[in-house]
Amino acid sequence: MNSYLDELYAHQEWADAEHWRAFEAHPAALADRAIRERQLHIHLVQHAFLWVTGPRTSEFEFKKLDDFPSMADLKKYGRQGFEQMSEFVKKKDLDRMEELIEVVWFKPPLKISRRQALTQAAMHSHYHRGQNATRLRELGGTPPGTDFIEWLHQGQPDARWS
């Protein structure tokens, strides 16, 4: 399981960074409302799952698109989430990964393991990257190939954010 979550989150960060670079190479993507909203949603959910699987020392802060004056600010928010998640995943206690947590945004709250919650967070991002790839192509851009197997084929590269 250690390598599973490590790989899943290394791939997720790489794939998100690939998308950010593709959007930056095609300015119409950065101006597109659908991409902007989905990028916020992707990073907000990543932060939410970090919060729900962690110590919950404070209330979760829901962000809106207006909280980010520029796409660079939203990208920074995303990167901060990855830095925190990377630290969390590296420090994880394997015994605690099977402990049940409550995903409080479900009514009634959903009880799943930390491992399942972390898996969901990565899979959720993958789903929305596919939507953004389609939208980028509609805008005349070229979406990057970010499948897990592509990352493996490339030798599991680190995320390149710029």
Paired residues of 101 in beta bridges:
112
Task: Report the pLDDT value the prediction gives residue 92, as an integer from 0 to 100.
Answer: 72
Strands 100-103 and 110-113: antiparallel
Asked, for residue 62, whether it belongs to a domain, the answer is: yes
Of 37, 40, 60, 36, residue with least CA distance to 48: 60
Span 39-44, average pLDDT: 97
Span 137-154, average pLDDT: 97
Examine the pLDDT at 2 and tell me if it is beyond 70.
no
Quote the mean pLDDT of the chain. 92
Examine the pLDDT at 158 and tell me if it is beyond 70.
yes
Residue span of the structural domain in which 43 resides? 2-153
Paired residues of 111 in beta bridges:
102
Asked, for residue 162, whether it belongs to a domain, the answer is: no
Task: Report the pLDDT value the prediction gives residue 91, as an integer from 0 to 100.
Answer: 76
CATH assignment of the domain containing 133? 1.20.120.450
Asked, for residue 161, whether it belongs to a domain, the answer is: no
Task: Report the pLDDT value the prediction gives residue 141, as an integer from 0 to 100.
Answer: 97
Asked, for residue 68, whether it belongs to a domain, the answer is: yes
- Kind plus residue range of the DSSP H or E element containing 55: none
Task: Report the pLDDT value the prediction gives residue 1, as an integer from 0 to 100.
Answer: 42
Contacts 24+ apart (CB under 8 A), 87-92: 88/50, 88/53, 88/54, 89/5, 89/6, 89/9, 89/118, 90/6, 92/2, 92/5
Give the separation between CA 145 and CA 133, rounded to whole angstroms. Answer: 9
Count of domains forming the chain: 1
Examine the pLDDT at 111 and tell me if it is beyond 70.
yes
pTM of the model as a whole: 0.92
